[in-house]
Amino acid sequence: MEENFLFCKRLDTTTISEDLFKLVDSFIKEEDLSWDQCFSVCSDGAPAMLGARQGFNARVKQVNPAVIVVHCLPHRENLASRKLSLELNSVMENVIQIVNFIKSSALNSRLFNQMCSDMGSEYEHLLYSSAVRWLSRRKVLQRVFEMHTQVEIFLNEKKHALALRLSEPRWLLQLAYLADIFSELNLLIMSTQGRDETYLTLSEKLKAFKAKLRLWKGKIERGKAASFPLLNLFLEDEEDVSLLDVQNIIVEHLEKLIDEFDRYIPDEELHEKCKWVRRPFDVQFEDLSEEESSIRSLQEELIEVQRDETLRFNFQRQSLGVFWTAVKKEKPVLESEAVKVLLPFATTYLCESGFSALALIKRKSRNRLQPEHDFRVALSSTEPRLEKLTSQIQAQGSH
């Protein structure tokens, strides 16, 4: 199984779903490919992709009804984590206002940096938050919490109205909780990034996180905050605050997270029925459905796999893709069913990394550059044969 870059083309005018489909369709026809060879399409939540009738995915479905459409899992995780209660949302907005007040003014930023330096602070800068950059929230919240003393002093000097917030224990408790929970959400999203990630591996991480949400909710209800480091540390350091001050708010938010994760990523979507692909040596062959039309059924081939010590040894040392494609010749029925689970992209990570590469290639000083070929070289995993390429070009002789 190979993950590689396919092609890069410009959209010169509009970028609606019909333009996207025509561009991809023309490439497929030019290269003498077929939409029947397209097994799955993975996209983010852009309307041009997800439109029920004229979206790109819907147009692909029209030419290949069997194609599997996947909505990027990290994108859904971000959507599930966006909703906050009124009080927590107010804390988030206050933090953004504080950061913008200090960072948006060059003078304020320099004065704040100098003050932190004079105080010997570990950090001297605050961080901007961006709605587009999902992972920025945790760093912004954590930095403001860790520097709340310095921020309070600076805002008092500037006679800013939000300085009072930083002296309110209840507000700081909520800030500490937000920093902790977004830290956990960031760790989850970062763990889903990378090459060769499959729906199976991501499903395990998501099911574990959903179980942890229920565990945290139960602990908070029992008055235990050890699962949230910043919140727990603040409770230990401050004698005049208690978890009871924010217990209901935290429980309500965790309940909302559980509901939103179940809504965006339901358990039945997490491939529990295909656990034999992940653990072929631990499942019972009776759990697999019989393929009456096949000469050799799934059950028969699974029994042979489980009795093969060489395959068991290889399975422990190889990735799922390498293992299942290696048994294709001897176990064609089992391999074909396993590949159907492993092939779909679960994330748009490769697209996101492509955007990063394009941003490096086509900068402001290169705005007239046609990046198609450069883009391919930057993203392809194929090593260029430089010696062969250079041997075909005559070196410029001396004058």
Q: What pLDDT shows up at residue 257?
A: 92
Q: What pLDDT shows up at residue 216?
A: 94
Cα gap 5→68, rounded to integer Å: 20
Alpha-carbon separation of residue 161 from 73, 165, 167, 330 (angstroms): 40, 8, 12, 72
The band of 135, judged by pLDDT with boundaries at 50, 70 and 90, is: low
For the cut 60, the answer to whether the pLDDT of residue 131 exceeds it is no
Q: What's the one-letter identity of residue 344?
A: P
Over residues 170-176, the mean pLDDT reads 91
**DSSP three-state, residue 40:** strand
Over residues 68-92, the mean pLDDT reads 86
Cα gap 2→159, rounded to integer Å: 59
Short-list 273, 334, 342, 271, CA closest to 308? 334
pLDDT in tens, 287-308: 666 554 444 577 788 888 888 8
For the cut 60, the answer to whether the pLDDT of residue 57 exceeds it is yes
Query: Over the chain, what is the mean pLDDT?
Result: 82
Q: What pLDDT shows up at residue 288?
A: 65
Q: What pLDDT shows up at residue 295?
A: 44
For the cut 60, the answer to whether the pLDDT of residue 72 exceeds it is yes
**DSSP three-state, residue 126:** coil
Cα gap 336→324, rounded to integer Å: 9
Instruction: Specify the higher pLDDT residue, 383 or 20.
Output: 20
For the cut 80, the answer to whether the pLDDT of residue 367 exceeds it is no
Q: Degrees (nearest 5) of the Cα angle 157, 163, 164? A: 130
For the cut 60, the answer to whether the pLDDT of residue 128 exceeds it is no
For the cut 60, the answer to whether the pLDDT of residue 282 exceeds it is yes
Q: What pLDDT shows up at residue 292?
A: 43
Instruction: Specify the higher pLDDT residue, 326 or 134.
Output: 326
The rounded percent of the chain whose pLDDT value lies above 70 is 89
Instruction: Specify the higher pLDDT residue, 271 or 87.
Output: 87
Over residues 179-194, the mean pLDDT reads 87
In contact, 51 and 21? CB cutoff 8 Å: no
Q: What pLDDT shows up at residue 362?
A: 81
Q: What pLDDT shows up at residue 215?
A: 94
Cα gap 150→166, rounded to integer Å: 10
Over residues 354-378, the mean pLDDT reads 80
For the cut 90, the answer to whether the pLDDT of residue 394 exceeds it is no
Cα gap 8→344, rounded to integer Å: 21
Q: What pLDDT shows up at residue 271?
A: 61
Over residues 227-246, the mean pLDDT reads 87
pTM of the model: 0.79
The rounded percent of the chain whose pLDDT value lies above 90 is 12
Q: What pLDDT shows up at residue 293?
A: 41
Instruction: Specify the higher pLDDT residue, 146 or 256.
Output: 256
For the cut 60, the answer to whether the pLDDT of residue 276 exceeds it is yes
The band of 132, judged by pLDDT with boundaries at 50, 70 and 90, is: very low
pLDDT in tens, 30-42: 999 999 888 888 8
